[in-house]
Amino acid sequence: MVHISNPVDTPIIIGTETEYGIAIKNVSEQDPVAVSTLVVNIYKDNNLKKITWDYDQESPLVDARGFISEGENQKPDKEENTIINDILFNGGRYYVDHAHPEYCTPECTNARDVVIYEKAGDLILHLSRIAAEEVLPAEQEIIIYKNNTDYKGHSYGGHENYLMSRQIGFDDIAEGMIPFFVTRQIITGAGKVGSENGAEPAKFQITQRADFFETEVGLSTMVARPIINTRDEPHADEKHYRRFHVIVGDSNMSEFSIYLKVGITAIALKLIEKGIIGSQFNLVNPVMQNQMVSRDLTCKRNILLEDGRRFTPIEVQRSYLDLAHKYLQPYEITSVMEDVMIKWAFVLDQLEADPMSLDCHLDWVIKKRIIDAFVERHNLSWSDSRVRMMDLQYHDIRPDKGLYARLKKNGRVHQIVGHEEVVRAITDPPTDTRAYFRGSCLKNFPGEIHSASWNSMVFCTDSSSLDKILMDRPYFGTKELVGDLLKNCTASELVEAILSSKCE
């Protein structure tokens, strides 16, 4: 085993994980585990069917507060591993998580790339769905939703990950990010008809997830969900890196919402790293106020801070943005970050003037606009089952059936990236993170790879031994660093070159 790392200081690395809702029409009984397994396994390239996911580096029970949670870290056997996991040419991962197909983007260095690779995931799910339907009886149809609730009390996640410096204390991150997340939903919410989980009734609210969060800080992602998740599983050198695992956001259809969601969060974390954000925005009862913000469609109801001040969610978000303008140095602000900050200001100004003016930009506003029109046209109550079906149909990934997809096709929503970029991202990894090495090795040497994970590749170049290459720094494996090796070497030569290198 050899460690390969890049000593260059790393900016925040971003990735998202999306659990999709899934169902089959015209069956006597739903089996989401079986259909999820079908859509994931049928997509897998034949050359990659024997490559497994390496679970050795995973530690989901380690808590950032300094202890290991009780429970069993179950790992699938080899046969199950090959069935439920698909490691993608683009450097991402596609697998079955409980009763859902889940897609994880490769590691990205900026918000725009996250949009490209998350939207590539939507296309991968669509292609999987088409292929899976071909082996089902003719009358059966698979429906996949990119949302966060089945309206039966079950919520599933649209998670974000930010790889950042281990030097920042976890308590400092939690303190600075709770007010940010409670107020961020006015930008990132996907919109929701009704309420769930015993929460206060609502005709329509900003976010799909607020009703399901019951604590401020904790490890669980399934019950008693916390605003701040404490999982300490960096998938990188744990001495240098921390992966901040965010479970409080919605799954977004809108490219604009995805772009700002991850872009402004990375900026807020930068402010915490620099010591700019501390306790100045601490909230009274954040869980309660999280649900309150979700129900305030004006975005102007005051929330209460511990020091007695009252701010609107817009004002809290504007405070974070103002601090970014004041304290981030020009050399720290990339072109994408600059664009994010411009769009962040634009959205806050529009929310202040009239939230419904963002009906081409933000998911919750787009959804409310089309449901408002439907309710008025048919003289319906918001509790009508057809209204809830409209909500679900907004998230349908089928291009000809999904309401968001049809709006996009007709040029009715704001786009961030081009369709050609998204199509390329199905098979081409980012060039500026270790995902390039992972994806390129899968393309070039599928028969000589035993297993892979986020921070390792295990090669089997002969019949007698396995060679594990640890990629414990996110910038190991960029095109700049290993492009020539991958272009000119066989798998054996590549492994030998890396094993004999002096990099540590």
H/E element, 42: helix 32-43
**How many Cβ atoms from other residues are within 10 Å of residue 472's Cβ?**
22
Backbone φ and ψ for 159, nearest 5 degrees, come out as -95, 155
Query: Of 220, 219, 218, 200, nearest to 210 (Cα)?
Result: 200
Contact present, 482 and 91 (Cβ < 8 Å): no
Euclidean distance between CA atoms 328 and 321, whole angstroms: 10
Q: How far is CA 461 from CA 450, 467, 502, in A?
A: 9, 8, 21
H/E element, 346: helix 335-353
Q: Is the Cα torsion angle 344, 345, 347, 352 positive or negative in sign? A: positive
Catalytic residue among 63, 97, 237, 296: 97
Euclidean distance between CA atoms 264 and 273, whole angstroms: 14
Which letter does DSSP use for residue 495 in this model? H
Determine the distance from the C-alpha atom of residue 195 to the mean position of all C-alpha atoms in its chain, rounded to a whole number. Answer: 23
Euclidean distance between CA atoms 267 and 334, whole angstroms: 11
Euclidean distance between CA atoms 39 and 169, whole angstroms: 40
Contact present, 382 and 204 (Cβ < 8 Å): yes
The separation between the first and the last C-alpha atoms of the chain, rounded to the nearest angstrom, is 12
**How many Cβ atoms from other residues are within 10 Å of residue 391's Cβ?**
22
In a 3-state reduction of DSSP, which class is residue 94? strand
Query: Of 108, 92, 100, 225, nearest to 150 (Cα)?
Result: 100
- Which amino acid type is present at position 161? N
Catalytic status, residue 211: no
Provide the residue count of the chain. Answer: 504
Active-site residues, by number, are: 97
